Amino acid sequence: MRRAVFLDRDGVINRAYLRQGIPHPPANLGEVEILHGVPEALAALQGAGFLLIVVTNQPDVARGATLLETVRGINGYLAGLFPITEFRSCYHDDIDDCACRKPRPGAILAAAETHGIDLTRSYMVGDRWRDIEAGRRAGCRTIFLDYGYTEKQPESMDHVTRSLEEAARIILGALP
């Protein structure tokens, strides 16, 4: 079975915009800013044989604050830059009670089934508690990118870092 690194999008690959200490996605393609070290980290992970799968909550679509085409445009732009295997975007809000919205692991589990992924040999990297909880529930190892957001923090994770670059070093250093 294959290994994967599941990645949140905003705050992991591209900059998240803080409003009152809470991260938000870019409002449009023009606001997308790739974080330092991301190209090298993704290339190294892919070169080591990991599938790269973005699992992202985009509730602003359900809330009417962002167009579906905007999210798809940002995902397409990132897919053109990096060796990302797949994007799994949840466009629901909490009230929709769907299986794909993190912290539920539905999107990770579906990707694992589609791609033949061994979740026990895979990682979830995210900057919010929902990312870490989804990875934990799916059976992945988890790496929390701690930016000091003023919101709920994850209760349990395998590693804490400050960048995807550092997370990639942890993952690559753990390889047999």
| Tens of pLDDT, residues 97-126 | 999 999 999 999 999 999 999 999 999 999
Residue 131 annotated to the active site: no
Residue 151 in contact with residue 11, Cβ under 8 Å? no
pTM above threshold 0.75: yes
**Amino acid (one-letter) located at 158:** D
Exactly one of 10, 96, 97, 131 is catalytic; which is it?
10
What is the pLDDT at residue 75? 97
**What does the pLDDT read at residue 164?**
98
| 60: annotated active-site residue | no
Best CA proximity match to 86, nearest among 57, 126, 56: 56
More confident residue, 46 or 21: 46
Q: CA–CA separation, 137 vs 163, rounded Å?
A: 23
Catalytic residue, chosen from 8, 60, 94, 158, is 8
Can you tell me the mean pLDDT for 63-85?
Answer: 96
What's the rounded mean pLDDT across residues 73-82? 97
Structural domains of the chain sorted by starting position, each given as residue range(s) with its CATH number in brackets: 4-173 (3.40.50.1000)
